[in-house]
Homo-oligomer: A and B are copies of this chain.
Amino acid sequence: MLSDVMEDYLKAIYRIQARSGPPVSTSAIADAIDKTPASVTSMLGTLEDRGVVVHQKYKGVELTTDGERVALEVVRHHRLLEAYLAEHLDYSWSEVHDEADALEHHISEEFERRVAAALDDPAVDPHGDPIPSADLAPLDGDDTTPLSACEVDDRVLVTRVNDRDREDLEYLEAAGVTPGTALKIVGVAPFGMVTVRVDGDTEQSLPESVAESIRVCDAVDAAVADERGEVTDA
Contact = CB atoms under 8 A, between A and B. Distances in A.
B90 A99 contact: no
How many copies the complex holds: the figure is: 2
Interface residues of A, number: 17
A111 B111 CA distance: 16
Contacts of A108: 98-99, 102
A95 B107 contact: no
A115 interface: yes
B99 A103 contact: no
Interface in A96-115: 98-99, 102-103, 106-108, 110-111, 114-115
The main secondary structure of chain A at its interface with chain B is helix
A89 interface: yes
Contact of A118 (B89, B111, B118): B89
Given A88-B88, A89-B118, 4 more contacts: A95-B110, A99-B107, A99-B111, A102-B108
20 contacts: A88-B118, A89-B111, A89-B114, A89-B115, A89-B118, A90-B114, A91-B114, A95-B110, A98-B108, A99-B107, A99-B108, A99-B110, A99-B111, A102-B106, A102-B107, A102-B108, A103-B103, A103-B106, A103-B107, A106-B106
Interface of A: 88-91, 95, 98-99, 102-103, 106-108, 110-111, 114-115, 118
